[in-house]
Amino acid sequence: MSLDILHQAEAWRAAGEEVAIATVTETWGSSPRPAGSQLLVSRSGRMEGSVSGGCIEGAVAEAAMTTIATGVPQLLDFGVTDEQAWEVGLACGGKLKVFVEKLS
């Protein structure tokens, strides 16, 4: 069986990767993944896990790259009223918050 997200994070870090962890912290409406769902992103571009049905992973990965570079965590808002979310297409009509932090 594949490693779970937190063991994967430890393994990537042990292998010398810089890693950010994105976690769904709140959802409203028909968000596809519940609070606590996680996406792992490495500086080299590896991804593991998910925070949505695939609609916002790209935007979250981009934010993760910033957090990896700066070390500053971010609380991202995605929702239908949000112009950025419209661009990345949260087609389900749900709304969610995602916290992105660097594994230091």
Q: Which residues here bind another protein, judged by CB under 8 A?
A: 1, 4, 6-7, 9-10, 13, 21, 23, 25-26, 34-36, 73-75, 97, 99, 101-104
- Min. distance of Cβ 33 from another protein in angstroms? 11
* Residue 41, φ and ψ in degrees, nearest 5: -130, 135
- Min. distance of Cβ 101 from another protein in angstroms? 5
Nearest alpha carbon to residue 22 among 66, 70, 56, 64: 64
- Min. distance of Cβ 40 from another protein in angstroms? 11
Nearer to another protein, 33 or 89 (CB): 33
The whole-angstrom distance between residue 10's C-alpha and the CA centroid of its chain comes to 17
Report d(CA 39, CA 19) in Å as an integer.
Answer: 10
Nearer to another protein, 54 or 73 (CB): 73
* Residues whose CB falls within 8 Å of the CB of residue 82, separated by 6 or more in sequence, listed in order: none
Nearer to another protein, 40 or 85 (CB): 40
